[in-house]
Structure 1
Amino acid sequence: MKTKTTLFSREITYGKKDVAELENASIKVQLIYDKTLFMLHSHLPDSLWDAWIGVPYSIISSLYKGNNDSGTIFQKWIQSPTGWKCIGCERHCLESTEPLEEENAVNHERQYKFHNGIRQSMVLQAVIWSMYENTVLFKPFLGDEPFFDDDDLHTISSYFVPTYLNEFHLIERSKPCKEYKDQNIRVFQEWISAPDLVLKWNGGLTEGRWMTGVYMDHSRFAGLGPYLKDSKGQRTYMQAYVQ
């Protein structure tokens, strides 16, 4: 039976070693996300981009555009029994829903569509993991410049989680998995065990899994955003302290 940690305030402590690892790993992971997203945008037909990614590339924050000022990036990490794992990345973007001439009108209240980036994140996870497995399998035949170099492969094997567009591979390996569904897109990711938390505060009690958010700003580490995720998927954000 897993041990549950009980907290009496919305504060959670991280060791300096863990923070240093997350700071270094989050940047490497983000570079792989951006690199893969750029490749997909360069090669996918518009119809597939809209179906799979669902966010206009023009408003996505990315190093590979030479402009990463737009949107907020929030990576989701778990301290699993085998180390830190990144299960996804949310890019929060606002897309204007009005014609350009109306946007430029004086005293005009603009209308926007919010993108949470969850579908984009899960498709990216599946694409990256598939390319990782194929690169490892066919590396002797790929020449001197495969899409993922040795450093990328090490980062993926260390911090990414097996993710697929169907559950066959995970069932075949007797791995527990979680299904993510958004419109017509279904993605299956290996279930990663996270520490259980009980939060007692303000006279209430909340139980869930301890997740660690990592904020990225201009593709640099910008701090931790720990949260408790309950059985309904609701988040209770907490304050990170380093010791």
Structure 2
Amino acid sequence: MSDSQNSSAPVSTPAPTYARPSRTYFDLLLATSAIILILSNIGATKAVAFGPILTDGGFFLFPVAYVIGDVIAEIYGFSRSRKTIFFSFGAAIFASLVFWIVIKLPGADFYENQTALETVLGPVPLIVGGSLLGFVVGQLLNSWVMVAMKKRFAGRFLVGRLVGSTMVGELADTIIFCTIAAPILGITQFSDYLNYVLVGYIYKCLVEFLLMPITVPVIGWFKRHEPTYPRELAGSSL
């Protein structure tokens, strides 16, 4: 074959290569936890009243965050739970910083919603302080109790472990958050503050208890489908 024929032959180029992530559901749960925390902080800027019952606009999201925390603690252990908590913490701080920058940016001449923007998003950094402190302490306690009880009872009594960890974690979370958020929301009377704390704690625990028929099967599903979970433990007793 001549040199001219060789030079005209097409030259194959190697296909681009990419990293191949391991198959796990942990990253999905981690991202969901961060999203819920950010949305909770925004919703919490609104004081909500159902008759004499006082709460905030993020009341329906916090129990979901704890359900996700229970799933992560049960399936992946305390180390991954701690990673999720601190990642969510960082994501919420970043969101708060973004809101602050957006508020400070000079508005266009035709923009008429600066005051409304500041009213809605202005308190978010303050709410974030209380929310994150409560979230970190509450979730760490929730995960620690969940994992410690799992070790103590050799993976049995899942429902009891869910109840016990919830009551401990939610108590710390609610007291810390409500103490910081109450004056921001305009709650100044001690009776109103006590109402805010008790209603928040009872509500969060009650919702988690009511969600137990969903939480337990969800945990069972992850045990069966998470490739990194030991197969011999996937059918462990409740």
**TM-score normalised by L of structure 1:** 0.28
Please state which structure has a larger fraction of its residues in helix: 2
Structure with bigger strand share is 1
Of structures 1 and 2, the one scoring higher in RCO (CA 8 A, sep 6+) is 1
Which structure: larger Rg? 2
What TM-score results when the alignment is normalised by the length of structure 2? 0.28
